[in-house]
Every structure is written in structure tokens, then in C-alpha cells.
Amino acid sequence: MAEQLRKLSTQAAAIIHSLPQTTCIRVISHYDADGITAAAILFQALYREGYDVHVSLMRNPFTKGLERVRQEENEVVIFADMGSGQLNMIEQFSGTSIIIDHHQALTQKTSKNILQINAHLCGINGSYEACGSSLSFAVAKSINTQNIDLAPLALAGIAGDKQYIGGIRGYNKTVVDEAVQHNLVTKKIGIKLYGDSLEDALYYAADPYYSGLSGNKQGPSDTMQRIGLSGNMQLDDLSTEQQRTLHSWLLLTLIKKDCQHNILDTVIRPRYWSDTVHGETERFADLLDACGKGGKRGLGLRVCLGDGDAFKEALQHEQEYKTKILQSLVALEKEGVEEKKSIRYFYATDSSLGGVIGGIAMNYILDGEKPLFSLVRSDDELHVSSRATQHLVQKGLDLGVAMKEAATVFEGHGGGHAIAAGATINVHHEEAFLGQVDTIIAKQLKG
């Protein structure tokens, strides 16, 4: 029902166009690759119309950040890649609010001064068929059709939220097709590897995580020698035959780890390239995720807006970020995780990274039989991130619902998607919370 999305996007554009050019439009978005690209798309669309734009990138729980924004008394606030789960707070804002979200929508009805554009309320599955950036792109095009050139950023957001798993579909497919038709991207089938040398690319490969190679100092060069390649080779210098050998080896490495079919299918797949995003879109999403979740949110936005110096700085920052993630993944693979009847969990030190590590571990290290939770204690708060597989979701699992329900019992905040969700509760409830989640999920999986 893209028709409903078109109708609501037109309404959003009408709100924007009704504002005098002196208006400073506030944009609040999420701090991951999807949120950063959504913010960048909206920034460009609004700036091109002559508005001042003030962007903030936030993370869960949004409570403190939203309270600060409420006190600013903005005329118009646009929430991207968030908002539906924070409707109660947004209802308290005095001006007009536009929500562009793809997380599970809780309430359809809002006050008159709120326009809620949520994929789920437009008949679009927000977990697979549209994300914050593709929905923001729809709004940007309604503001001005010339904003179609922002499509590569939307494609990076789609990749950032892993909505290519199971094949690009729904509204995302419309965006990809448009980008191809307008020659804004070049489509090439390939694998995700990047770095100064083959050795370097394999060492820093975090997602996919190649057991024995990723984060392993000696593994890549030894293995490359064994298959007749050299770790010093540049990726571009590989012959077609050598590429084939490398790809087969990497796929075999994943198969040995029982990697699920739909994940294996994403390793070598159509990829979209554009100068707007400095190359391949998923690679760009990785860079933005490293900026956002690695404590440099503003840097990610600057990269999206075409700042060359920011791009160089981001590349450097990404190496440190990846090193941290890879160390945790190697340790998790070696030491294993804790286990309950229906869930698995592990402790992480950084709440932004817990979900990233959990997501990769779920797909490439552990079998996909139970969802994986990462727990991070900070002061009196416990941050929980949970990740699952499409297979578990098909069996009835809904992490968004489970996290919301369990967090509510302990007066915390929780929510998200069926396949990936988060929660924050008081740390004293850790054990009881895990028990509650375990029970809820056991019920969900039983049908």
C-alpha cells in the first residue's frame, strides 16, 4: 500500500511548504546508519528549499534527549527512524511533529499537530520492506522531485538495517529500481571486502565474520597462502579465477559454521555503487554505523553531506571501532554464551556495541536456535539488545513485543522490531527481567 505512504508524504511536504523560509526545522533521528542517512536525506531536502535545519542524532532510550528538544519549543520537529515508540512524549511537544518511522507502531491515533508516517500503518512491513531512510526519501521526493538524487543515501540506509536479507522487497525495491533507472547507482554482483590488501580486508571483516580469519592476526595470510593467494595482494588485482577461489573459500568458512541459507545468500549478491556514498552502499553503511555507534555521530552526518575530510577521518575511526568489535567476537566465539530455556545472552561493556556484536554472533557464530541478548550494565541501568533470525520470526518470535512487555513489567522502556529490539531497565531487575523474557519467548515460539 505505497499509496498511503504517498498520501502521507504529500501531507508532510505540504506542512513543510507552508512554513516561512526563516523557519529552522528540527530533525531528530536515530544514531545508526539508517538513522544517519535518513537525517542526511531530510537535511538536504529541507536545506535545498531554503530552510535552516538543526539535526540531532539520538539513541535509545530517547527520554532525556526528547525532553531537551521539547524545551526548545520548535515550530516543527521531524522524527526519522524513531518516534512511533515515543509518541507519548511527542504528544507533549507544542509545535507540529512529523514522525517518519518503521519500528512497530503502537498507536495509530495521534493529536492533530502530529503527522505519523509509519511503514506498518501504510501496509508496509517495516522490518523488511521499508526503513527510516527509504521512508525519508519518499518524503524528500514529495518536497521536491529533484531530491531523487538522494536515492544512494536511502540505499545505504536499507543496507545498514540489513533489509536486503531475503531479497530487496516492498517499498525498498521501488527505491532501488528508481535509483537504477535514473542511473544514480551502478549494480554489480559481488562480495563485501574492502581494505588496503587482502590480509587487511579479511582481518577487518566483521560482518560477515569469517571464523579463523576475522580479527585474527595470522589467519588471513596463512589461509591465503594455502589457497594459492598472497595476503599482500590488492583486492583489485585479483584475477577472476582468484576471486572465485577466494569467494568459494569464504563461503565454505561460513557453511562450516552452519550459517543460515538466507544469510549465505546475502554474501555474494547484487550491490549498488555510487560516488555519492564513496562506493558500495553497504560498505558506506558500515562506515556510518562505526561513526554513530562508535561515539562520532556528527562525523557520520558530515560524511553523508559530502565532507571529504570527514570521510578520511571516518575511515580512520572505523579501524579502531572494528578492532573493538572483532576482539569481542573472537572472545565470544572462544568462550561461548550463557543459556536459558529459550534465550542466550552475554555481557558486553558498551551498550552501543552490544547489539552489533549480538547481531553478528547470531548470524555467523552461534546456531540460530535461540535469540541472543547482550547485557550492558552502566551505573544503575541495564541496556539490553536482542537479535534473532528470520527463521525464528517465522516460528512466532517477536522481540519487539517481548522487550516491550518485559520492560513494562519493570518500569523500563523497550521495543523495536520482531528480529531486533532493545530495552533499558533498572539493573536490580536483571535476573527477573531475563526470566520474564525467557518465559514470554518460550510462549511465542510455542505458538
Binding partner at 215 among ligand C5P, Zn ion, none, C-beta below 5 to 8 Å by kind: none
Query: Of the two residues 152 and 415, which places its CB atom closer to ligand C5P in the complex?
Result: 415
**Per residue, what are the HEC states of the chain?**
CHHHHHHHHHHHHHHHHCCCCCCEEEEEEECCHHHHHHHHHHHHHHHHCCCEEEEEEECCCCHHHHHHHHHHCCCEEEEECCCHHHHHHHCCCCCEEEEEECCCCCCCCCCCCEEEEEHHHHCCCCCCCCCHHHHHHHHHHHHCHHHHHHHHHHHHHHHHCCCCCCCCCHHHHHHHHHHHHCCCCEEEEECCCCCCCHHHHHHCCCCCCCCCCCCCCCHHHHHHHHCCCCCCCCHHHCCHHHHHHHHHHHHHHHHHCCCCHHHHHHHCEEEEEEHHHCEEHHHHHHHHHHHHHCCCHHHHHHHHCCCHHHHHHHHHHHHHHHHHHHHHHHHHHHHCCEECCCCEEEECCCHHHHHHHHHHHHHHCCCCCCCEEEEEEECCEEEEEEECCHHHHHCCCCHHHHHHHHHHHCCCEEEECCCEEEEEEEHHHHHHHHHHHHHHHHHHHHC
> Pairing between strand 413-416 and 420-426?
antiparallel
Q: Which stretch binds Zn ion (CB under 5 A): 75-83, 201-209, 212-220, 249-257?
A: 75-83
Query: Of the two residues 34 and 282, which places its CB atom closer to Zn ion in the complex?
Result: 34
Binding partner at 60 among Zn ion, ligand C5P, none, C-beta below 5 to 8 Å by kind: ligand C5P
Q: In the bound complex, which residue of the shown chain has the CB atom lying closest to ligand C5P?
A: 416
User: Which contacts (CB < 8 Å, 24+ apart) does range 411-415 have?
Assistant: 413/60, 413/61, 413/63, 414/384, 415/85, 415/103, 415/104, 415/106
Shortest Å distance, C-beta 305 to ligand C5P: 23
Q: Which of residues 20-49 bind Zn ion (CB under 5 A)?
A: 34
Query: Of the two residues 19 and 106, which places its CB atom closer to ligand C5P in the complex?
Result: 106
Shortest Å distance, C-beta 306 to ligand C5P: 26
Q: Does 199 bind Zn ion (CB under 5 A)?
A: no
Q: Does 129 bind Zn ion (CB under 5 A)?
A: no
Q: Does 350 bind Zn ion (CB under 5 A)?
A: no
Query: Of the two residues 30 and 141, which places its CB atom closer to ligand C5P in the complex?
Result: 30
Binding partner at 414 among Zn ion, ligand C5P, none, C-beta below 5 to 8 Å by kind: ligand C5P
Q: Which stretch binds Zn ion (CB under 5 A): 111-119, 130-138, 179-187, 310-318?
A: 130-138
Query: Of the two residues 81 and 282, which places its CB atom closer to ligand C5P in the complex?
Result: 81
Q: Does 161 bind Zn ion (CB under 5 A)?
A: yes
Q: Residue 352's Cα: distance from chain center in Å? A: 12
Q: Determine the Cα–Cα distance for residues 319 and 303; give it in Å rounded to an integer.
A: 16
Q: Which stretch binds Zn ion (CB under 5 A): 20-28, 70-78, 79-87, 213-221?
A: 79-87
Shortest Å distance, C-beta 5 to ligand C5P: 19
Binding partner at 208 among Zn ion, ligand C5P, none, C-beta below 5 to 8 Å by kind: none
Shortest Å distance, C-beta 142 to ligand C5P: 24
Residues within the interface to ligand C5P (CB under 6 A): 30, 60-61, 85, 103, 355, 385, 413-417, 420-423
Query: Of the two residues 76 and 420, which places its CB atom closer to Zn ion in the complex?
Result: 420
Binding partner at 423 among ligand C5P, Zn ion, none, C-beta below 5 to 8 Å by kind: ligand C5P
Backbone conformation region of residue 81, classed left if phi is above 0, alpha if psi is from -120 to 50, else beta: left
Q: Does 132 bind Zn ion (CB under 5 A)?
A: yes
Shortest Å distance, C-beta 357 to ligand C5P: 11
Binding partner at 65 among ligand C5P, Zn ion, none, C-beta below 5 to 8 Å by kind: none
Binding partner at 34 among Zn ion, ligand C5P, none, C-beta below 5 to 8 Å by kind: Zn ion
Query: Of the two residues 175 and 375, which places its CB atom closer to ligand C5P in the complex?
Result: 375
| Cα atoms in the Cβ-side hemisphere of radius 13 Å centred on 227 | 19
Shortest Å distance, C-beta 387 to ligand C5P: 7
Query: Of the two residues 326 and 418, which places its CB atom closer to Zn ion in the complex?
Result: 418
Query: Of the two residues 359 and 368, which places its CB atom closer to ligand C5P in the complex?
Result: 359
- The cell numbers describing 345, all together, are 545472552
Binding partner at 271 among Zn ion, ligand C5P, none, C-beta below 5 to 8 Å by kind: none
Q: In the bound complex, which residue of the shown chain has the CB atom lying closest to Zn ion?
A: 34
Binding partner at 131 among ligand C5P, Zn ion, none, C-beta below 5 to 8 Å by kind: Zn ion
Which among 109, 112, 106, 82 is positioned nearest to 94, based on CA atoms?
A: 112
Site of interaction with Zn ion (CB under 5 A): 34, 81, 131-132, 161
